[in-house]
Amino acid sequence: FASGMGRDSHKGAIPQIPKAMRFEYFRQLLNFYARNEAVRSPVLESQTRKGEQTRQAILDAAVLRFARSGYRSTSVADIARAAGVGGTIAFAYFKNKEALFMAAVDQDVAAHIQEGLAFVTDSQDSRKQPEADWQQRLFFTLVATAEQHPLSRRLLAGLEPEATDRVLEIPALKELRAACATRLQSEQTAGTIRLDVDPLVMANGIVAIMLALLMSVVQLGSTATTGYATEVAAVFAAALRPTSPRS
């Protein structure tokens, strides 16, 4: 059969792809069509949505499995089964186990931070709050919602030390630092805090102290540590309070 075919008969034929590479080939093909408006079709858009749903299902399962058993004791096959997909499907969306773990960390930590970010960014709410209140409310919200974000809680408990550096550079944490700096700048403009402090430096310090308090709460228990939140807020207030002119 093969010997009876001329070279020209191969033109326009579907390329012969090794079985092991077919899934990745078609995934990349779908991504190409998804990025090009001119070649989109309802079928391709439906497949793209399905792919996004599959990826999200894998991520959600990864958050729960990694939170429960840890990175070392969790396999990608475990996560795939929990997500209801084939054992190799996860590798179409994540390069390897480490990439899947870091994506799960990014998702859960970001969702945890978003719980408290509203107290920093809500301008309408900010007009009702004394300067130190948003810092206390941010902290207490992050403490209260830690149970709802099990992988974030596991990291705060120090159970995944290899991921600590990654968490400190997570985009959501950078967003929180930036939001705190913007809030402090607006308070400087309003004259409610000192003008001689760098808002970005102070915001970095506030976030660092809150992370340390959160880790203490998770590791030692809220009874032993949350009482210090008011004292810490008092320190922030004293550091930021405008200085009165000497008479």
Alpha carbon 235 to its chain centroid, in Å, reads 29
**Chain segment 218-228, per-residue pLDDT in tens:** 888 877 666 67
pLDDT of residue 224: 64
What average pLDDT does this structure show over 226-247? 72
pLDDT of residue 6: 44
Q: How far is CA 76 from CA 43, 65, 92, 171, 187, in A?
A: 29, 10, 12, 25, 48
Question: 9's torsion region: left (phi>0), alpha (psi -120 to 50) or beta?
Answer: alpha
Residue 124 has pLDDT above 70, yes or no: no
Residue 1 has pLDDT above 70, yes or no: no
What average pLDDT does this structure show over 178-200? 93
Task: Report the mean per-residue pLDDT for the chain.
Answer: 81
Which range has the worst mean pLDDT, 78-92, 177-191, 231-245?
Answer: 231-245
Taken in order 40, 44, 48, 50, is the CA torsion positive or negative? positive
What average pLDDT does this structure show over 33-45? 58
pLDDT of residue 30: 64
> How is residue 152 written in tokens?
């974030």
154 vs 219: CA distance, rounded Å: 10
215 vs 177: CA distance, rounded Å: 18
> How is residue 13 written in tokens?
């034929």
Q: How many CB atoms lie within 10 A of CB 156?
A: 23
What average pLDDT does this structure show over 27-36? 66
pLDDT of residue 8: 45
Alpha carbon 78 to its chain centroid, in Å, reads 22
Residue 98 confidence class, pLDDT cut points 50, 70, 90: very high
**Locus of tokens 């990291």:** 155
- Which among 246, 209, 247, 211 has a CA at the least distance from the CA of 231? 209
Q: What DSSP assignment string belongs to 185-238?
A: HHHHHHTSS-SSS-HHHHHHHHHHHHHHHHHHHHHH-HHHHTTHHHHHHHHHHH
Residue 3 confidence class, pLDDT cut points 50, 70, 90: very low
pLDDT of residue 127: 47
pLDDT of residue 242: 83
> How is residue 176 written in tokens?
């929180």
Residue 58 confidence class, pLDDT cut points 50, 70, 90: very high
pLDDT of residue 153: 94
Residue 42 confidence class, pLDDT cut points 50, 70, 90: low
pLDDT of residue 245: 52
Q: How far is CA 242 from CA 182, 193, 236, 247, in A?
A: 18, 5, 12, 15
